[in-house]
Amino acid sequence: MKVLFVGAGASGIVGAISYKRNHQKDDVLIIEHLDAPLKKLLATGNGKCNLANTKLDLNKYSHPEFVKDILVEYDYVSFFDSVSVKTKAMGELVYPVSETAVSVRNALIGEAERLGIKINCSEKLLDYKRVNNCIEVITDKDKYVVEKLYLAGSLCSTKNLGSDGSVLSILRNHGYKIKEPLPGLCPIVTKENTKLLDGTRIKSEVSLYQNSNLIHKEKGEVLFKKNGLSGIVIFNVSALIARSQNKANKFVLDLLPEYSETELEKYWQIHSFDGFLQAFLHPTIIKYLKERFSTNEEIFRAVKHLEFTFKEAYGFEFAQVSVGGVDLSMVDARLESVKERNIYLLGELLDIDGPCGGYNLTWAFGSAIRATN
């Protein structure tokens, strides 16, 4: 065996395809501890697989400069065309035309099979060690001696989809510098009680603060839960809170971003206060505001400035990404380990995360192509 990939997820499969296309004579094996490849991919984009973004803003990644250098070689249109996946943009979000992740999974597995890549499922990496110029890979089923080892085992987000942190533990034992992962892109538990609002959805503008400095502002739909908030805009806020090591812990909702305070004040002057609330807000929100605040002035302020305090993230089981991972100083520009030659680190395993909208799959695929070119 010449080359072994750990993890038949987004970066592992694409990395193996890219490697094999460039080195047709080399034997390539992927080991995957779940019973099937690409299980997480099937869950992406609500089953539709939001695999790229037409307006990718590199500044939204946790380490823009590092990502910029890597993604420069990755063109999602030509890569997916090469595996017979036609993509289309819905707004700025890119999906397969079939609108199902099953097509993407089938295309990637089909291409891997066509190239002669072997995928061993239900086989878990336990450890590896250097033997002369090669690497001995130790799994729960076998031992392999390989020339190159690609680690694509991700971090801790959603254990039932394969991310159990086991590869990170192995790297920790090998002395890699690690930024301890925290759950990102997940709902948030708030200190304030939101039980009354459970199930209510509102379009609002969310501002995130760290020590009273505004660090992020985004419009979107917020879904209230019995102990906190959810929705894409909240997912993005949760990742930024994790990036700040939970120091950015105040966020404020503008419940009526389309109206200025002056406009709303004028309406209140002409109508009664209850008339004003009724004219602009969902009845459940009105009930909540009246329970949480005592005076009309406090309620009026909360309409444009409803403050919440981060208590904790919902946890890795609900997280689309892990924020943190192997420190970027541990790899070079081709994602080869600077500690151990011929070992490469791909995808989420590295300390890179991006917001919702195709950013994380773009990183997984793009990093895989860079490391194998």
Ligand X SMILES: Cc1cc2nc3c(=O)[nH]c(=O)nc-3n(C[C@H](O)[C@H](O)[C@H](O)COP(=O)(O)OP(=O)(O)OC[C@H]3O[C@@H](n4cnc5c(N)ncnc54)[C@H](O)[C@@H]3O)c2cc1C
- Binding track over 292-321 against ligand X, x by CB under 6 A: ----------------------------xx
Quick one: tokens of 348? 């989420």
Q: Measured on CA atoms in the order 200, 248, 310, 312, is the torsion positive or negative? A: positive
- Binding track over 234-253 against ligand X, x by CB under 6 A: --------------------
Angle made by CA atoms 366, 367, 370, in degrees to the nearest 5: 85
Quick check: 105 binds ligand X (CB under 6 A)? no
Q: Is the CB of 166 or the CB of 244 nearer to ligand X?
A: 166
Of 183, 347, 355, 366, which lies in the binding site for ligand X, with binding defined by CB under 6 A? 347
For residue 195, the SS3 value is helix
CB 65 within 8 A of CB 371: no
At 271, which amino acid appears? H
Could you tell me which stretch among 61-69, 240-248, 288-296, 355-363 binds ligand X (CB under 6 A)?
355-363
Quick check: 182 binds ligand X (CB under 6 A)? no
Q: Is the CB of 255 or the CB of 321 nearer to ligand X?
A: 321
Quick check: 153 binds ligand X (CB under 6 A)? yes
Q: Least separation, in Å, of the C-beta of 115 and ligand X?
A: 18
Q: Which residues 6+ apart lie within 8 Å of 260 measured at CB?
A: none
Of 28, 29, 50, 96, which lies in the binding site for ligand X, with binding defined by CB under 6 A? 50
Q: Which residues 6+ apart lie within 8 Å of 305 measured at CB?
A: 252, 254
Give residue number: closest CB to ligand X: 9
In the sheet that holds 343-345, the strands lie side by side as 118-120, 28-31, 3-6, 148-151, 343-345
Quick one: tokens of 28? 């390539």
Total residues interacting with ligand X, rule: CB under 6 A: 37
Kindly report the number of other CB atoms within 10 A of residue 247's CB atom: 11
Q: Is the CB of 45 or the CB of 96 nearer to ligand X?
A: 45
Quick check: 371 binds ligand X (CB under 6 A)? no
Kindly report the number of other CB atoms within 10 A of residue 309's CB atom: 11
Q: Is the CB of 164 or the CB of 254 nearer to ligand X?
A: 164
Q: How far is CA 230 from CA 42, 116, 177, 186, 325, in A?
A: 21, 43, 32, 7, 24
Quick check: 322 binds ligand X (CB under 6 A)? no
Q: Least separation, in Å, of the C-beta of 146 and ligand X?
A: 14
Q: Compute the distance between CA of residue 283 and CA of residue 294 in angstroms, rounded to an integer.
A: 17
In the sheet that holds 125-131, the strands lie side by side as 125-131, 134-139, 143-146
Quick check: 372 binds ligand X (CB under 6 A)? no
Please list every residue from 15 through 44 that binds ligand X, using CB under 6 A: 31-34, 40, 43-44
Quick check: 222 binds ligand X (CB under 6 A)? no
Q: Is the CB of 10 or the CB of 335 nearer to ligand X?
A: 10
Q: Least separation, in Å, of the C-beta of 145 and ligand X?
A: 18
Quick check: 11 binds ligand X (CB under 6 A)? yes
Quick check: 187 binds ligand X (CB under 6 A)? no
Of 359, 369, 371, 372, which lies in the binding site for ligand X, with binding defined by CB under 6 A? 359
**Displacement of CA 196 from its chain's centroid (Å):** 30
Q: Compute the distance between CA of residue 300 and CA of residue 276 in angstroms, rounded to an integer.
A: 10
Quick check: 184 binds ligand X (CB under 6 A)? no
Could you tell me which stretch among 6-14, 21-29, 62-70, 293-301 binds ligand X (CB under 6 A)?
6-14
DSSP state of 325: E
Kindly report the number of other CB atoms within 10 A of residue 210's CB atom: 16
Q: Least separation, in Å, of the C-beta of 93 and ligand X?
A: 8
CB 24 within 8 A of CB 114: no
Of 18, 87, 157, 337, which lies in the binding site for ligand X, with binding defined by CB under 6 A? 157
Return residues touching ligand X (CB under 6 A). Answer: 6-12, 31-34, 40, 43-45, 50, 124-125, 152-154, 157-158, 161-163, 166-167, 320-321, 347-348, 358-361, 364
